[in-house]
Structure 1
Amino acid sequence: MTDDELRTDGSGATARATGIRRTLDRLTVEDLALYVVLVLAAGFYLVPIESGLVTSFKTGTAIIETAPFAPPGASGFTFEKWRTAIDALLRGMGNSLLYAVPATIISALIGSVTAYGLTIPNWKASYKALVLALIIAGIFIPYQAVLVPLTQFWSQWVQLGDALSFVWALGIDDDYVGIVELVITHVAYGIPICTLLFRTYYKTMSDEMMESARLDGASLRRVYRRIVLPLSGPMFAVVLIYQFTQIWNDLLFTLVIVSTESSPAAPVVLILAGLGTSMEGQDFALRMAGAFFAALPTLAVYILFGDEFAEGVAA
Structure 2
Amino acid sequence: MSNAKPRTDGGATATARLRRTIDQLTAEDIGLYVVLTLAAAFYLVPIESGLVTSFKTGTAIIETAPFAPPGPSGFTLEKWQTATDTLLRGMGNSLLYAVPATVISAFVGSVTAYGLTIPTWKKSYKAVVLMLIVAGIFIPYQAVLVPLTQFWSQWVQLGDALSFVWALGIDDDYVGIIELVITHVAYGLPICTLLFRTYYKTMSDEMIESARLDGATLRRVYRRIVLPLSGPMFAVVLIYQFTQIWNDLLFTLVIVSTESSPAAPVVLILAGLGSSLEGQDFALRMAGAFFAALPTLAVYILFGEEFAEGVAA
Contact 1:59 1:78 in 2 (8 A): yes
Match of 2:260 in 1: 262
Q: Which runs of 5+ in 2 are unaligned?
A: none
Give the 3-state SS of the residue equivalent to 1:75 in structure 2. Answer: helix
Task: Name the CA distance, whole Å, in 2 between partners of 1:137 and 1:214.
Answer: 32
Which amino acid is 2:82 matched to?
A: T
- Aligned residue among 248, 251, 265 for 1:250: 248
Structure 1 position 121, deviation (Å)? 3.5
Give the 3-state SS of the residue equivalent to 2:73 in structure 1. Answer: coil
- Aligned residue among 179, 183, 186 for 1:185: 183
Pairwise CA RMSD of aligned residues?
1.6
Match of 2:225 in 1: 227
Task: Name the CA distance, whole Å, in 2 between partners of 1:265 and 1:12.
Answer: 70
Contact 1:121 1:220 in 2 (8 A): no
Alignment pair present for 1:293 and 2:291? yes
Once the two structures are overlaid, the 10-residue window that deviates more, 158-167 or 298-307, is 158-167
Task: Name the CA distance, whole Å, in 2 between partners of 1:168 and 1:214.
Answer: 48
Task: Name the CA distance, whole Å, in 2 between partners of 1:102 and 1:199.
Answer: 22
Which amino acid is 1:154 matched to?
A: W
- Aligned residue among 75, 82, 85 for 1:84: 82
Which amino acid is 1:288 matched to?
A: M
Structure 1 position 18, deviation (Å)? 2.6
Task: Name the CA distance, whole Å, in 1 between partners of 2:136 and 2:10.
Answer: 61
Which amino acid is 2:86 matched to?
A: A
Residue identity (%): 87
Match of 2:117 in 1: 119
Match of 1:103 in 2: 101
Match of 2:278 in 1: 280
Matches within 5 A, 1:192-211: 192-211=190-209
Give the 3-state SS of the residue equivalent to 2:66 in structure 1. Answer: coil
* TM-score, normalised relative to structure 1: 0.96
Q: Number of residues paired by the alignment?
A: 310
Shift of the 141–11 alpha-carbon distance from structure 1 to 2, 3 Å rule, reads same
Q: Which runs of 5+ in 1 are unaligned?
A: none
Task: Name the CA distance, whole Å, in 1 between partners of 2:131 and 2:270.
Answer: 37
Structure 1 position 13, deviation (Å)? 9.7
Shift of the 121–56 alpha-carbon distance from structure 1 to 2, 3 Å rule, reads same
Deviation string for 1:121-177 (max 9, x for gaps)?
Answer: 321100100000000000000000000000000000001011111111111100000
Match of 1:313 in 2: 311
Structure 1 position 15, deviation (Å)? 2.5
Structure 1 position 27, deviation (Å)? 1.2
Task: Name the CA distance, whole Å, in 2 between partners of 1:61 and 1:151.
Answer: 45
Structure 1 position 17, deviation (Å)? 2.0
Structure 1 position 11, deviation (Å)? 8.8
Deviation string for 1:197-244 (max 9, x for gaps)?
Answer: 000000000011011101101111110000000000000000000000
Contact 1:241 1:301 in 2 (8 A): yes
- Aligned residue among 236, 251, 258 for 2:234: 236
Match of 1:40 in 2: 38
Shift of the 151–211 alpha-carbon distance from structure 1 to 2, 3 Å rule, reads same
Match of 2:168 in 1: 170
Which amino acid is 1:124 matched to?
A: K
Match of 1:149 in 2: 147
Structure 1 position 268, deviation (Å)? 0.1
Shift of the 131–64 alpha-carbon distance from structure 1 to 2, 3 Å rule, reads same
Task: Name the CA distance, whole Å, in 1 between partners of 2:189 and 2:28.
Answer: 45
Runs of 4+ in 1 over 6 A off after TM superposition: 10-13
